[in-house]
Amino acid sequence: MTEEKKIYVREFDPDLRAPQVIHDWSGTARVIRYVGRCIICVRPTFEADDGGNDPRGVMGDYANQGLDAKSHGMVGDDVVLCWRCGNEEGSYKRAVWLAAHHYWQHPSDIAEDDENQYDSY
Given a contact cutoff of 8 angstroms between Cβ atoms, the answer to whether 22 and 47 are in contact is no
Angle ∠(59,75,68) on CA atoms, nearest 5: 20
pTM for this predicted structure:
0.70
Question: Residue 58, Cα to own-chain centre: how many angstroms?
Answer: 16
Phi, psi torsion values for 115, nearest 5 degrees: -70, -35
**Can you give the pLDDT of all 121 residues of the chain as single tens digits?**
455 544 344 455 666 666 777 766 666 777 888 888 999 999 999 888 888 777 877 788 999 998 999 999 999 999 999 999 999 999 999 999 999 999 898 888 765 555 554 444 4
Burial (CB < 10 A; 0-12, 13-18, 19+), residue 45, is: buried
